[in-house]
Amino acid sequence: MDVSNILASHAAKYQSVTVEKETPLDVDAGFLTVTDPNPIDEESYNENLEEHLQSLARDGVQALLASLFTLPTRPSPDGPLAQLPPPTTQLPRAKPLPQPKPKTKWEAFAAAKGIQKKVRDKKVWDEEKQEWVNRWGRHGKNKEVEDQWITEVPANADVDHDPRKVARDARKTRIAKNEKKHAQNVARAANPRDARKQEIDKTLATTRISTASMGKFDRKLEGEKKMRGVKRKFEPTEKSVDEEAKASLALLSRLDSDAKKTRREPPAEESVLNTRKAVRFASKGRGALALAKEAAGGRSSKGSKGRRIGGKR
Distance between CA atoms of 170 and 143, rounded to whole angstroms?
A: 11
What was the pLDDT predicted at 86? 92
Statement: residue 292 has pLDDT above 50: yes
Q: Is 118 left (phi over 0), alpha (psi -120 to 50) or beta?
A: beta
How many structural domains are present in the chain? 2
Distance from CA of residue 200 to its chain's centroid?
15
On average, the pLDDT of the chain sits at: 78
What was the pLDDT predicted at 311? 43
> Which pLDDT tens digit goes with each residue over 206-264?
777 777 776 677 777 777 766 665 566 677 778 888 888 888 888 888 887 766 666 55
Statement: residue 267 has pLDDT above 60: no
284 or 64, greater pLDDT: 64
The whole-number average pLDDT for the span 261-287 is 65
Whole-model pTM: value is: 0.32
Distance between CA atoms of 191 and 185, rounded to whole angstroms?
A: 10
The whole-number average pLDDT for the span 40-52 is 89
Distance between CA atoms of 201 and 227, rounded to whole angstroms?
A: 10
Q: 127 and 77 share a domain?
A: no
DSSP state of 162: -
Helices (H), 69-162: 105-113, 144-147
In a domain, 69, yes or no: yes
- Pick from 152, 124, 153: nearest CA to 139: 124
Distance between CA atoms of 286 and 266, rounded to whole angstroms?
A: 24
Q: Write out the residue range of the structural domain in which residue 38 sits.
A: 7-82
> Which pLDDT tens digit goes with each residue over 120-140?
888 888 888 888 888 888 778
What was the pLDDT predicted at 185? 78
Q: 76 and 123 share a domain?
A: no
In a domain, 94, yes or no: no
The upper half-sphere exposure of residue 210, i.e. CA atoms within 13 Å in the direction of its Cβ, equals 7
In a domain, 113, yes or no: no
